[in-house]
Amino acid sequence: MINEKSEYRSGPKLVQFFNDLGFNDSYGQGFPSRWVFTDERLAKINGTPALDQCIRNTFSPVNFVGRIQELDLLIKEFNQYLAFDKWKVVRREADIGFQKLEKIEIDSGEPKDSENEFLSREFTNVDLRA
């Protein structure tokens, strides 16, 4: 779904994906491009519980067996967009859920130092023997 990073879906598989969310489409001649079809369906479910289910289905860990690190990276990238609505997707083992944020959190992509790493770096040249 996410620019085909998560999983490639052919036209029939894309139709089935959205039919599982309550649509009743069929794939055949004259079917729009997968991109157009996806945009139209996402616009229709935006703001509904079906969008939550769409996100859960897209990030379902069962679709990422042997690729959990890839899943976590996709979730992290997706959360950059949700952050402006003060939401984020969270994975707890095999469950995908949502967390409401108090403020907009934007991950800079740079690893954060642990407390010990910070203290070690800041006090490397401090001599306590004086």
Domain that holds residue 27: 1-58
Q: How many domains does the chain have?
A: 2
pLDDT of the residue at 49: 96
Same domain membership, residue 45 and residue 2:
yes
How many Cα atoms sit within 13 Å of 19 on the Cβ side? 10
39 and 86 belong to one structural domain:
no
DSSP string covering 5-55: SS----HHHHHHHHHTTT------TTPPPHHHHHHHHHHHHTTSHHHHHHH
Each residue's pLDDT tens digit, 86-127: 999 999 999 999 999 999 877 766 666 677 777 777 777 777
Both 88 and 50 in a single domain?
no
d(CA 89, CA 59): 9
- What does pTM read for this prediction? 0.75
How confident is the model over 22-54, as pLDDT tens digits? 999 999 999 999 999 999 999 999 999 999 999
